[in-house]
Amino acid sequence: MLTSTQEINNASLQHLIIQENVPLADKNTFRTGGNARFYCTPTTAQQFAQALQFAADKNLEIFVLGGGANILVSDQGFSGLVIHPALTEIATHDLDEANILVKAGAGSSIDNVIQYCLQHNILGLEEFSGIPGNVGGAVYINLHYYEFLLEQFLVCATLIHKKTGAIVTVDTAWFNFGYDQSKLQEKEYFVIDATFKLKKAPVSAIAHAKGRYQEIVRHRHRRYPYENTCGSFFRNFYPEEVAHTDKKLIYVAYYLDKLGVKGELSVGGAIISHQHANMIVNHNNGTSTDILNLTLTMQQMVYEKYGMKPQPECQLVGFATNPFL
């Protein structure tokens, strides 16, 4: 068994550190959940491949952790290997007078990429201002805000294959993006870095964008909870799921609002936000079990009233089965 922090004794692993029994509650935005049996933070693609080999050798399940948003970690923790990429390099490449490519490592936070762009007179990604998470997770879920989707800016990405460790470059079409969907969710490949096509801008436009950045963040904080939450817990319905309803609205929050649960329904330390009916807040040392039971109650209420079962957008980590099916 490895010690709590032990360097693998293999020169080929380039000093990759594998930790054992590492808390995950401080590494996700709900601030709940148990420990990871094994945990590592590769800083290069080669170390990422070595982490995958370590998991294969020990027959471990793998979870790749980004910024910790959009996940619910079981109170029992995760019995496999958590890989938290620390690939944070950001670089640019000119395309022409108007356009520029920005490549960001999977471990770069979305906010850091936006700030980098604004500092280098580049526009495009600021529509995602204030959204927590890292580049790898953003590509995984096809990050969205109103009509903006990350796929609109992504041109290619470097991926690593789970079983072989092979590193490949793919274009946008490979991901088969949809709403909250990408081919990455098959969990055969993981993101090493992503490249976005963005716009060069004059100083005057950047000054305006910096102001817009601040306004978007203020707007998000007024409209949505921003601490101890994963964001929207349930994905919106697909059009075919609401075809039988009178209004055919896809928004889960609309149905929850009509049920009067916003700011009222709670289980233990978990409560539905008073700001948004599809966002759960851990407001009193709640547990993942509290959050799970609250969201199952929400799902059942919508099903009993409207005949539709909301499904989580939030990823479940360390749970033996999916209780929402």
- The full set of domain ranges for the chain reads 5-83, 90-223, 239-317
SS3 70: coil
* Helix-helix angle 203-223:110-119, to 10 degrees: 150
d(CA 20, CA 111): 30
Query: Which tokens belong to 3?
Result: 């010690």
Mean pLDDT for back-to-back runs of 10 residues, the chain (325 residues): 36 76 98 98 97 97 97 98 98 97 98 98 96 96 93 98 97 96 97 98 97 93 94 96 95 97 98 98 96 98 98 97 97
d(CA 138, CA 135): 5
Written as one letter, the residue type at 130 is G
pLDDT of residue 113: 98
String of b and e for 74-89 (b: at least 16 CB within 10 Å)?
bbebbebbbbbbbbbe
pLDDT of residue 293: 98
> Any idea which fold 90-223 has?
3.30.465
Query: Which tokens belong to 111?
Result: 């906010």
pLDDT of residue 284: 86
Handedness of CA 280, 141, 315, 245 (dihedral sign): positive
pLDDT of residue 14: 64
pLDDT of residue 3: 29
> Any idea which fold 5-83 has?
3.30.43
pTM of the model: 0.93
Please tell us whether the domain made up of 239-317 is placed in CATH 3.90.78.10.
Answer: yes
CB distance 5 to 206 below 8 Å: no
| Backbone torsions φ then ψ of 55, nearest 5 degrees | -65, -40
pLDDT of residue 86: 97
